[in-house]
Chain A
Amino acid sequence: MSPETKRPIIVVTGFLGSGKTTLLRHVLTGQPAHGTAVLVNEFGEVGLDHHLVRRVDEQTILLNNGCVCCSVRDDLVRALSSLLDQDQRGTIARIDRLVVETTGLADPAPILFTIETDPMLRHHFRVDRVVVTVDAINGQRHLDRHAVSLKQVAVADDIIVTKTDLAPPATVSDLVARLRVLNPTAQFTTAVLGEVEPERILAPRHSRVLAGQQTAETTARDESEHIGETRSLALTFEQPLDWAAFSIWLSMLLYAHGEDVLRVKGLLNVGEAGPVVLNGVQHIIHAPEHLPQWPDADRRSHLILILQEIDPQQIVQSLQAFQHLLGAQLSSSDVRG
């Protein structure tokens, strides 16, 4: 089944009390939500009036390698398999997309791993995007005190800053500035009482193309910054990369340091008609997508890494050492240590 025919899954996560359910309550009322099934981890105080809401208990099976991101959400496998079975037997209305709402303390990476690697689910579902809600009032404190909050932000494709009506404008702008540094690849919006255009959350995004464009735009800012132990690093290569060499380097890096590479996003020139779009979270890399054409005139390769516990300068030095294998030089003007 091609990516276009797989059912998109939108993962909605965010720290405790950050407004996930309020957001969904707003988004799921109306025509755009037709054909949407929702999996929630807990029925909160704000009820979801939606015809296909299932509750799942977060049951994570840690695999032998002990890596938290590469663990299987058995509950999710069962719930998605059941929905798919009912959908195919016609006992429920056709499901066009799914929304998975996590608990506030959930690490989203196992959800991505489960859908990406399950022998059956991977052929029927794809993660379209990860939407993360961040509370404008308490967001900074959550980021300071809770590693899982940082992790949620790092893996986000969309960040919705909520409760902006309750926080001073300076607080909101400081938070957004911090979030942009933590995850320069995400798209940002603000919301009051969960009021976001439903299409923004539910419409198929063809996210990987947009992700690549976003990467290119962000890289132009030429920055490598850090807050605490989480840093983002934007890299640019002028010449086409040897894809085999790059995949050796990245797979080796992820094997040795995958848990500290919170996010990988890239738009790579590998000498083909179009770029390769790369998107990953820790050890989990989506199937690289080879686009038939470039989205714009920029033919450089852009790569963004969100790192914890790794000095970005080590990455730079490693890529410089690998450049004779990669067939491309890291553009030093685009990198700061």
Chain B
Amino acid sequence: MCVLCSQSLLVETHWTDRRTDAGEPVATAGNDRERQRRRDWQHRAQLLNHVLGHYGLSLDNWQNRHYVLSDRKGRSEIVTDLGTLWPAAAQLLGHPLDPLDPQLVEVLSGVHLAREGC
């Protein structure tokens, strides 16, 4: 990791950030692409906070390049993608986050029902 910008020098792109279009790799240069990437980045943080909030965790966007994952004790970890997020969250919580966790399922189902006005 670079000590100035904290950017990893040997980046292995997580599958959720990899894509190919019609057999060609997607170029990452260009303003439009960068704007779209930032929108996607922020959108993902919003979605993640719905899930992480159940566990007392929160995610803040840092320069549209990293996320800062924090718990209620004030501990925090810098993560770069979903590949680093889940291990970091498990480290802070002491157990992995599980989408099959009945309590999480119940909470998220409740959010859904509340939104539908049930």
Interface membership of B115, Cβ < 8 A: yes
Nearest residue (CB) in B for A317 is: B105
Note all chain A residues with C-beta closer than 8 A to B104: 321
Cross-interface CB contact of A321 among B19, B47, B109, cutoff 8 Å: B109
Interface membership of B86, Cβ < 8 A: yes
Interface positions of A from 235 to 273, Cβ below 8 Å from B: 242, 244-245, 247-249, 251-253, 255-257
A276 to B18 CA separation, bound complex (whole angstroms): 12
Nearest residue (CB) in A for B109 is: A321
Note all chain A residues with C-beta closer than 8 A to B98: 252, 256-257
Interface positions of B from 20 to 61, Cβ below 8 Å from A: 20-25, 40, 43-44, 47-48, 50-51
A249 to B109 CA separation, bound complex (whole angstroms): 14
Instruction: For the complex formed, measure the closest distance between the CB of A335 and the CB atoms of chain B, giving whole angstroms.
Output: 15
Nearest residue (CB) in B for A284 is: B15
Cross-interface CB contact of B23 among A4, A255, A257, A315, cutoff 8 Å: A4
Interface size class of A (residues with CB under 8 A): 35 or more
A285 to B14 CA separation, bound complex (whole angstroms): 9
Nearest residue (CB) in B for A278 is: B15
Note all chain B residues with C-beta closer than 8 A to A252: 51, 82, 86, 97-99
Instruction: For the complex formed, measure the closest distance between the CB of B99 and the CB atoms of chain A, giving whole angstroms.
Output: 5
Main secondary structure of the interface of B (DSSP, over half): helix
- Total A-B pairs in contact (CB under 8 Å)? 104
A317 to B82 CA separation, bound complex (whole angstroms): 22
Whether B112 and A321, one on each chain, are in contact in the complex, defined by CB atoms closer than 8 angstroms, is yes
Note all chain B residues with C-beta closer than 8 A to A253: 99-100
Instruction: For the complex formed, measure the closest distance between the CB of A305 and the CB atoms of chain B, giving whole angstroms.
Output: 12
With A117-B12, A255-B87, A314-B100 in contact, is A325–B47 under 8 Å at CB? yes
Note all chain B residues with C-beta closer than 8 A to A247: 15-16, 82
Instruction: For the complex formed, measure the closest distance between the CB of B59 and the CB atoms of chain A, giving whole angstroms.
Output: 11
Instruction: For the complex formed, measure the closest distance between the CB of B16 and the CB atoms of chain A, giving whole angstroms.
Output: 4
Interface membership of B68, Cβ < 8 A: no
Interface membership of A324, Cβ < 8 A: yes
With A4-B23, A247-B82, A287-B20 in contact, is A323–B112 under 8 Å at CB? yes
Interface mask (B83-118 → A, CB under 8 Å = 1, otherwise 0)? 100110010000011111000111111011001000
Interface membership of A31, Cβ < 8 A: no
With A255-B87, A318-B105, A321-B104 in contact, is A287–B19 under 8 Å at CB? yes
Q: Residues of B with Cβ closer than 8 Å to A?
A: 10, 12, 14-16, 18-25, 40, 43-44, 47-48, 50-51, 82-83, 86-87, 90, 96-100, 104-109, 111-112, 115
| 11 A–B pairs (Cβ distance < 8 Å), ordered by A | A3-B20, A244-B43, A244-B44, A248-B16, A251-B15, A253-B99, A256-B96, A276-B19, A291-B22, A292-B21, A322-B108
